Amino acid sequence: MTLRRRTLLLLTVVLAALLGVLQLASSSVLLGGFRRVERDLCLQNLHRVWKGYLGILATLQEKASDWSYWDEMARFVQGRNETFVVSTLGMTPFETMRLSILAIHDASGNPVYVKERTAEPPELRTPGPRTLAAVSEVNQRIVREGPAHAIRGVLETELGTLLFASTPILRTDRSGPVLGTVTFGRLLDRAEVDRLAELTELPIELLRTGNAGIPNSALSTLSSGEPVALSEPEGDVVPGFVVIRDQVGRVSCVLRVVQPRSVYAAGLRSIVGSIAMALVLGAVLVAVVSGLLEGLVLRRLHRMGADVLAIGNQRDSGLRVRVEGDDELALLGRTINDALQALESANADLRVAKESADASSRAKAEFLARMSHEIRTPLNGVLGMTELALQGHLGAEQRGLLETVHSSANLLLDIVNDILDFSKIEGRKLQLDIRQIDLHGLVSEVVQLFRSRAERKGLTLNLAISDEVPVTVLGDGLRIRQILVNLIGNAVKFTERGAVSVQVGKIREHAGLIWIEFEVSDTGIGISKEQQTQIFEAFSQGETSFSRSYGGTGLGLAISARLAEIMGGELTVQSDLGVGATFRCTVSVSTARMIDVEEPAAALPGAQETQRSLRVLVVDDNAVNRIVASKILERAGHCVEAADNGKAALEVLRSVHFDLVLMDLQMPVMDGIETIRRIRAGEEGVNPKIRVIAITAQAEESDRTACLSAGADGFLTKPLRMGELLAEMNRMLAHLPS
């Protein structure tokens, strides 16, 4: 995720958190305040309804008082004047004052005039007994309590709930005694409720079912004697209730007032508007911050990143990033430039060190190559001459002396090979030569190589190969053989009595690879625990005294351990001093594929072909080497001529036909590589198809590759062995015409 996206995401999260906090605060604080204001306003409206109801009663009482303080009324009560009834009491007061009942009683409680008005058709009639009893009871209370007492409220009659006002009849000066009572009553019906609603500007509904329809939240308030109560909001409205009780406190009827939640809705709209405004401002803030981030930070970071990427792509630590300003990003740029400066200095030091190391490595390689050449060249003469001498008729003493010389020369050659191998391993130049090999035959051959030596020391040499070990595998047979020669040779060398056992087994197999374990155990002198950590180091042996007793360079185990690691395994030892040692070497090989394998030289008709007399040209600048090669070839029945450099060889080849050329590589005037190239080019009449075997004291794989690339048909290293030379020639003869 980019920095821009992370910053925008962070700002969005912060904005969302702020909006969430604002929403929570609005819900818990602002909306709570709006609810309280709404409740107070609704209670005020309910009290308005209650006051409207009381106002109706007060109006009735005022009108009743006007009639009760009228002298004509007093005379009517006392004299029962029918003219008053006709002139005053008819339908007119019912219609003008919207009365439902008009009752006049004397001081004794006797009804003088009691009438109720029906709705349809409108007419006056005598009320029912329930109405008469209720009005008479009110009259008696007023008479008992005196002229200053008036009563108003509600009565339950046959018509329904009746709003009434009853006042005592007095003379105009309002002096006693009470002559009777005047009662005005108005039915509390839908029309009266609508007029009350119009008066209060509130929607009112009349409930005649007592407590039915009143929520419990309002009943608890009403039960305490309060005339009004609110219930919990229901959607977008708040129900309220006004209770009207009769003279004994019973609930006569309930007025239900439904009020819209206008205050709460307005508050909610304001909060939503505030949140929307905050959201818009937040979006603007995010846009502004994003723009500032882009202009002040990201653009500079992009330029700095592009500079760093360009420096990395060009791999030039001499370049620098652009630095702008004097803030933290500028400090970062200067820090990167300082690091690049340090890297440039370090690279310069590394280049100097690498050049020095390369020069040292080249010098080492050149020294080893020179030493290999200088040592192998005289060894070629020693081994060649002793082999030729051993083929002659010798006495026992002379043969013994020559065999000692030959054995010593071979030992010296082994030491030179060990040093060269160790140098290749240390320089990481050793490459494995993976080929199809007969693993069983290879192990048996190495064991057989040491069997006569073991028998001479009176030792038993045992070999056991597990059936799980495949016969044919893909691996570097030469290096496996080298490890086995070292391990078995050491076991035989350091064991004076007892036995040496060689066991081969399969450890595991995975993904086409097989791990083979070679175990070589002996009953020899053993190795102490202290020395076991050192024997795999170069030029080290188990004990200095052993070196004096047994000899050796101390490179064998070091080379074997490193070869095992290169082949994906390891070399370990388990031993106690004086009781023998067990070496275990594991290597990985591949499952052998069915490939065409070149038949070995022995399978060629060499015995017959070697009877042919070939004309062979030996080219070598060293006279001893020319003599050795010539003698070997002459004893094999071939005609030999010699040349001491490449230029001389070309002159001979122009004038004489030869079947084969043995070409040394390092020569003055013209070296062997150049000479082979000119032969293959057919220079000045030279046969370009003549067989050429390159011979050199250089044992590097690069030398072999160079020779074969130049056009050589074969490659041999000095010192020349008679068997190897004749075998290579045998291979060549298989392809020559008869």
Q: Which residues of 662-700 are buried (b: 16+ CB within 10 A; e: fewer)?
A: bbbbbbeebbbbbbbebbbeeeeebeeebbbbbbbbbbb
The four Cα atoms 47, 48, 51, 55 give a dihedral, to 10 degrees, of -170
Q: Please answer whether residues 7 and 293 qualify as being in contact, where contact means their C-beta atoms are separated by less than 8 angstroms.
A: yes
For residue 412, the number of C-alpha atoms closer than 13 Å in the C-beta half-sphere is 19
Backbone conformation region of residue 651, classed left if phi is above 0, alpha if psi is from -120 to 50, else beta:
alpha
Q: How far, rounded to the nearest angstrom, does the alpha carbon of residue 355 sit from its chain's CA centroid? A: 42
CA-to-CA dists, residue 39 to 92, 254, 560, angstroms: 44, 19, 98
Pairing of strands 124-125, 111-117: antiparallel
How far, in Å, CA of 474 to CA of 322, rounded?
Answer: 57
Tell me, what's the pLDDT at 488? 93
What is the 3-class SS of 432-466, one letter each residue?
CCCEEEEHHHHHHHHHHHHHHHHHHCCCEEEEEEC
How far, in Å, CA of 519 to CA of 731, rounded?
Answer: 36
How far, in Å, CA of 211 to CA of 224, rounded?
Answer: 14
How far, in Å, CA of 292 to CA of 284, rounded?
Answer: 12
H or E stretch at 641: strand 639-643
pTM for the structure as a whole: 0.43
Tell me, what's the pLDDT at 583? 94
The four Cα atoms 45, 46, 52, 57 give a dihedral, to 10 degrees, of -170
pLDDT digits (tens, 9 = 90+) for 619-675: 999 888 888 888 888 888 899 999 999 999 999 999 899 999 999 988 899 999 999
Tell me, what's the pLDDT at 596? 43
Q: Could you give the angle at the alpha carbon of 684 between the alpha carbons of 679 and 686, nearest 5°?
A: 40
Burial of 237 (0-12, 13-18, 19+ CB in 10 A): middle
CA-to-CA dists, residue 721 to 48, 385, 604, 625, angstroms: 134, 10, 19, 12
Report the sign of the C-alpha dihedral through residues 633, 634, 636, 638, in that order. positive
Helix (H, G, I), strand (E, B) or coil at 175: coil
Structure tokens belonging to residue 194: 């609508």
Sheet strands side by side (includes 124-125): 124-125, 111-117, 101-106, 180-187, 161-169, 151-156
Tell me, what's the pLDDT at 546? 45
Pairing of strands 472-475, 581-591: antiparallel
Listed in sequence order, the residues at least 6 apart from 715 whose beta carbon sits closer than 8 Å to its beta carbon are 693, 694, 696, 703, 704, 707, 708
Average pLDDT, the chain: 81
Q: What is the DSSP letter of 234?
A: B
| Helix locations, 506-661, DSSP H | 529-532, 544-550, 556-566, 606-609, 623-635, 646-655
How far, in Å, CA of 502 to CA of 517, rounded?
Answer: 10
User: Could you give the maximum distance between any two Cα atoms of the chain, in Å?
Assistant: 194
Q: Please answer whether residues 653 and 690 qualify as being in contact, where contact means their C-beta atoms are separated by less than 8 angstroms.
A: yes
How far, in Å, CA of 556 to CA of 533, rounded?
Answer: 15
Helix (H, G, I), strand (E, B) or coil at 281: helix
Q: Which segments of the chain have a pLDDT < 50?
A: 543-549, 594-610
Tell me, what's the pLDDT at 602? 38
pLDDT digits (tens, 9 = 90+) for 592-622: 654 444 444 333 333 334 457 889 999 999 8
